[in-house]
Structure 1
Amino acid sequence: MVKGSEKLNDDLILKIIKRIGILSIFIMGFSLILFKESKPIILGYIFGVLITILCFKLLDISIQKAVKLPPRRASAYATGQYFIRYIIYGLVLAVAAKADYLNLGATALGLLSIKIVIVLSSIFKKSL
């Protein structure tokens, strides 16, 4: 991969993460206003957001490595990384379901935050 495209990729990832931060502030603020017992909701959301940001970065690293591999190995590597990320998501949801101090719905919303940010960015026609 060319160095310039890695810089562009890093800028794009940072822009998405910043937008997730802005969205998170709004969601946590609304949670404080709307819910009497908002602590589990906010903690669950933060837990989901942090995990999804880490998995998003893991996806970036996986893609950068996969493009350098021969096609057969790249396919196997990408598939393995795909399953690893979904196992992580499953474990996060299982932990949120078991823990009394985390709200499962808020954790799921946090895990979806990257997708929400990307879709909203395309709806409002802002370039990522």
Structure 2
Amino acid sequence: MPDRFTSAPTLDRITADASTLRRDLRALPVDHAHVLAARITDAQQLASTALRLFLDLAQHASQPSPADLLVLDRVAQIARAAQDAGAELTAALARAVENRRRQAGAESGRVVLVGPSPQQFIESAVDLLDRIPALSQPYPATS
């Protein structure tokens, strides 16, 4: 299985991309659906990069050692966090569009919105992305 130094550039890029996405989400205006859709594709790309790294690492580990399994576990958790963040952002997008539709269709100026707000979904996505840097930290050398 490739060692830490082989996968380090990819993990560094994943961490940097997750940080950029978190920063962008914190500054995101919830009422801009097209911007939110772009952030969803960013989260999906992050998950895709992690899954490609997982495949590359797993391909070289016919008899994985405990250290190899730790690496695979961390990369799988990174992919899951990114995918879950993308799902939360998709839920935020759907809720934002639904809220706009309800407000546009309301005869009175007052609309009661039920459930988590788009911003709550976005905050959940940020929390998921916050896990990625810790998972990308150096791990034991593989054998």
Tell me the TM-score normalised to structure 1 length.
0.42
Greater helix share, structure number: 1
